[in-house]
Structure 1
Amino acid sequence: MVVAAVMAVAVLQWLAANWWLLIVLVVLAVGTGAVWFYLRGQRAAWDRVQAQGLRYQLTQLDALHHRGLEFAVRDLMRRDGCQDAVQVGGRGDNGADVLGEWAAGSRPLWEILNRLPPPRKASALS
């Protein structure tokens, strides 16, 4: 207990002699925080712009592989306000391919099925 008190007094005396160092640290901390908040706002604004531009045509969706279709549904859910939508599909997923939670509290579970036949490759004979 006495050792801790002696150390605290020594640190305070050193800080009193080097008060300018505290000012430099505070200025650096405030500057770093300001840059972080600015970049965070820019990222959020960019995400909103990207989400507004997210559009798919049916031909684009039809051309996607089943995994790509799951990610497209996830992205569309995020665009429409389900910010925590995640793609969880895979082996043993019990039919859940995309999960999320809407602001109203409902929790949709999507099973994504792509029933289109794979596109045929052009044969050498035709």
Structure 2
Amino acid sequence: MKQKKWPFFLLVLLLAAGILGSVLVLQRPDTSMVEVVRDGQVLYQFDLAQEADRVLEIEYEGRVNTIEIKDHQIHMQAAECPDNTCVHMGWLDSAAPIVCLPNHLVIQFAENHEALDGIAR
């Protein structure tokens, strides 16, 4: 009977490790620096801790994305794209970026380049 219990405990252990890993990966980074990126090029960089409330409109091939910065947070307020998934993602609050695939636009926390070693640069 004891031999049949170990797969259950292994499954529970793996599930717990997966949940803990997900929580750690999706935590908000230690930075308030945010980038708006298109095709790998940084269009804007903000320090949300110091940024005033404002609205940005970014055009791509005749379509416009509207980004709102309010109360030191940022989100995609509106987008001229078929599904508006980026609008429904809400405020940027974790390591997961806000992505508008049709308009090639990403809002993400800036990477901490100081944490990289000499080989990675």
TM, length-normalised to structure 1: 0.35
Mark the structure with the bigger radius of gyration: 1
Higher relative contact order (CA 8 A, sep 6+): 2
Higher share of residues assigned strand: 2
